[in-house]
Structures are given as C-alpha cells and as structure tokens.
Amino acid sequence: MDYFDETYPEDIRDFLNSLLKKALGWARAASTVQIITSCIGCFLNVFHVFILFRKELRSHATNILIIGIAISDFVYLLYYVDGATWDWLKSGVPQDIPPDSLIHQIWTWVLFIFKDALRRVSSWLGVFLALTRYLVIKFGTKTWIKVLMKPETSWKLFFSTFFFSLVVTMINQGRYTIMEYKKGWKPDESCAMFPPNTTYPYFERVQNPILDNYHLKISQKFLLIDGFLKITPPIFYPFLAVGLILQLMKARDGRRILMRKDEEHEMLHITRLIICMTIAYFLAETPVGISYFCLSVLIGDEHGYGLQFLVNYITIILNTFLVIHSSIHCFFCFFLSSEYRKTIGSLFGCTTSRNGVGSSRNLSTSS
C-alpha cells in the first residue's frame, strides 16, 4: 500500500514507503523489548517504592519527589505489562475470542489515563527534583528555602502536578465513551468451543457521537499541548545539570570548613545522584518529546498521512528508551546513595558502620 501521494517525487515516495515498512518491523521488535523490560521494571519499582517508604527515607523532601517518580514509573510500566498479559492469555484461545467485559474495558481505560498522566508527571518531577536541589545548594542559608525542605511541600508538588497532568489527559480522553452493542457478540458457526446460540455482551471504547464535529480539533489541540509539555522538560535538563555541577563545585569550596566529612560526602553523593538522573531524563525524554511534537504538527495534514504513520512508529521505537529509563531509577539510588544502600542492608539484617558516609539518615542532607 502506498501511504505517500503524488505530491512527493517518485524516488522519495519509494524511499519513504520502504522506510515505513522497516519502521513497522522495528516498532514491533521494540514493543517486545518494552514488554520484557516492563515486567522486570515493575518488580524493581515495587521494591524501589518499598525501600523509599521506609522510615529512614520517607521523611525528607527530596526523597518524596523520588517516591513520586517511582510511583509514576511503576504505573507507566504496569500499562505495558497488563497489555502483554491479556495478549498472552488470549493467544491460548485457539478459536473465536469473546470481546472484553465492561469491567476490563473500564480497567484498561483508567489504566491508560493514569499511565498517560503519570508519564508526564515523572518528566516534570525530574525537573523539580533538580531545580529544588539547585535552590537548596545555592540558597541553603536563606529562611524561605526551608519551605522547599519540608516533605509536605514535596507531596503538594507531586499531587498538584498529577492533577494538572490528569486534566491535560482528560482533554483527549474525555471525548471517548464505552458503548454497548445491543446485538452482542456471537461466535462463528464453525466455532465448536461455544454452545449453540451463545451471545456475549459486546462493549467497546469509541469516540463519543455527541462530539462528532470536534474530535479532530480536540485531538489536534491535545497533541499540541501534550507535545509542548513533553518537549519542555528536556530543554530544562541541560541547564539544570550544568547549574547543579557549578553549584556543587562552589558548595565544596564554601562549605568544606563548615561541614563534617561524612556530611560533605553525602551532600556530594545526593547531588551527583540528581545530576545523573537529570542527564538520564534528558537522554530518554528528548527524542520522544521531539517525535510527539512532530506528530502534533502532522495531525490534520491531508498530505502528511504517511508521515503520521512513520513518526508514530518512530515514537513507539523511542518509547523503548523511556521504558528502560523508568526501570533503572533504583540503580541510580543504589549506586549513588549510601543511605539507600544502608536501608536495603538493614532490611536484610545487614549492618553498616556509623562512621563514614552512611551516617546521614536520608538521601539528602539538605532537603
């Protein structure tokens, strides 16, 4: 099938059709990688959240933002695991497969809404995490900075970001509804695994007929807003990373005399942790943000039909980096935070010395 019309020269059209076919194959392979990685990532994030909610860690502002990121990552990965699980269960049915029940339709829809909203939340919490750390290091002696150092502030920031992101998601998802087909679903007569005259209720998530004249406009507006919100954090990440590095260098010179050796080490460790997370966010989020923004521009272009498919497949491929990134935050904390390692050690009955970098009771000595 030719997805590119005569507005393209023939040689370019042939190249784009060939690229589209290859992109489809790569997208399918990427989907398999995403499913496998998501299964591992879900397990790791459950353990990650459990560790972060331990008494030693959950009472500090920086840790709360990391908890919010971990929860967002878990829900994002759960969406892929859920879809893969149902596909696997259905693959065991040799003949006609009944449609999904109403409960399953609702569950899948709600899970998608939360996945979409929390994916956005994770990106912005990465920005807030780096920004908060930057402000704490730069203005640590100021009275007003103590507000940012309170766990309550971080919880408010997390939930405020989530509700805002949820509203953005519902701009698009609010135009859908779950419809029941009155005739129901009947298996093919040749299907022997069902009794005669078997009928199942048939539910499907469809575009709301009431908004028939507005679906395209809503979709276009949503993609523009979503693309902007996805591409904005990657723009901030390099500046925040550079700012943190510069502030870290200044802090080492300015606070070395005022801080104990263990406090200095822990301050360096948590700042390095946030710098590494910021760089990882930039590498994972930037390509996807650009592809989403390009897709939002192409929607509604009658000559961009083939390009929409191509960019969509590329977005699926690039989502692999998001899935991997969402699965490995626990490793950043493990390798760069002595307190995180100490908490895991205490969970398994291991003890660590109170002399050294493990003396701090949180991921951050300053927040």
CATH number, domain with residue 257: 1.20.1070.10
Spell out the alpha helix ranges (H) of 210-304: 215-255, 261-298
In a domain, 216, yes or no: no
pLDDT band at 2 (very low <50, low <70, confident <90, very high): low
| Contact (CB, 8 A) for 127 and 236 | yes
- Residue 27 in domain: yes
Domain that holds residue 138: 10-96+110-175+231-359
Query: 58 pLDDT band (50/70/90 cuts)?
Result: confident
Separation between Cα atoms, residue 223 and residue 231, nearest integer Å: 12
112 and 207 Cβ atoms separated by less than 8 Å: no
DSSP bridge pairs for 206 = 177
What pLDDT is recorded for position 9? 78
The answer as to whether 209 is a domain residue is no
Across-strand partners of 178? 205
Kindly tell me if the per-residue pLDDT of 356 is higher than 50.
no
Confidence of residue 360 (pLDDT cuts 50, 70, 90): very low
Q: How confident is the model at residue 73 (pLDDT cuts 50, 70, 90)?
A: very high
Q: Would residue 195 count as lying in a domain?
A: no
- Residues whose CB is less than 8 angstroms from the CB of residue 290 and which lie 6 or more positions away in sequence, other chains included: 231
338 closest CA partner among 302, 363, 320: 363
Q: Is residue 291 part of a domain?
A: yes
Return the DSSP state at 98.
P
Please give the angle made by the CA atoms of 351, 356 and 361, to the nearest 5 degrees: 65
* Number of structural domains in the chain: 1
Amino acid at 65: L
Q: How confident is the model at residue 257 (pLDDT cuts 50, 70, 90)?
A: very low
Does the residue 225 lie in any domain? no
Residue 188 lies in a domain: no
Residue type, 173: Q
Asked if the structure places residue 244 within a domain, the reply is yes
Q: What is the pLDDT of residue 328?
A: 92
* Residues 19, 22, 23, 27, Cα dihedral to 10°: 180
Token couple for 201: 């209720």
